[in-house]
Amino acid sequence: MDAPPAFRRQLLDVIPRLRRYARALTFDAAAADDLSQQTLERALVHWRQFDPQREMGVWLLSIAHNAHLDTVRRESRMTVTDPTELQRVQDENQADNSHTLGLRLDLEAALARLPPEQRQPLLLVCVEQLSYAEVAEVLHIPIGTVMSRVCRGRAALRSYLDATAHPSRPEAGTQLKRVV
């Protein structure tokens, strides 16, 4: 039996949110589309497992998170933007003169530098605007762990972006040698 129309409508309403989260997880539009499709397929196959008392968005983001982890495990590597590649992209887009392009690229590079354990809860809280309890449910971790990872992720992101904005400053945690 196919999923009921009400379930399908709820599913359709959450797709933009799902795609945004998938894109933030993968840093690649094609991979994000694949992850979104895989998530929707799993949701439609297992629609009977959906609890109507639960928010559809949280359920789908949880499926997407697990599907992404499956993919990462399968590929055994994570794509990280190489700083020289980032510089090349920025140079190519210099004609754009848009100050937001550089900021977006810096933010993407800084997010890519975060470990997944910090990046995932940070994206769910800040981009998807889930509560800490919802993030804990999606990631299957305690709420206190979510809070500490978001806090550490924000601090690291600030440090990375500050180092990008002020290249003469050392990154946080870098020791300066004193020359006497």
CA distance 36 to 23: 9
The answer for residues whose C-beta is within 8 angstroms of residue 141's C-beta and 6 or more apart is: 121
Q: For residue 44, is it within any domain? A: yes
Q: Choose one of 79, 110, 133: the last residue of a domain.
A: 79
> What pLDDT, in 10s, does the model give residues 13-67?
999 999 999 998 888 899 999 999 999 999 999 999 999 888 999 999 999 999 9
CATH of the domain at 140: 1.10.10.10
Closest to 67 measured CA to CA, from 114, 146, 125, 120: 120
Q: Choose one of 33, 49, 79: the last residue of a domain.
A: 79
Q: For residue 179, is it within any domain? A: no
Q: For residue 175, is it within any domain? A: no
Q: For residue 180, is it within any domain? A: no
Number of separate domains in the chain:
2
CA distance 98 to 154: 25
Q: For residue 137, is it within any domain? A: yes
Q: What is the pTM of this model?
A: 0.58
| Same domain assignment for residues 71 and 107 | no
Which residue range forms the structural domain that includes residue 125? 97-169
> What pLDDT, in 10s, does the model give residues 71-88?
887 775 545 667 777 677
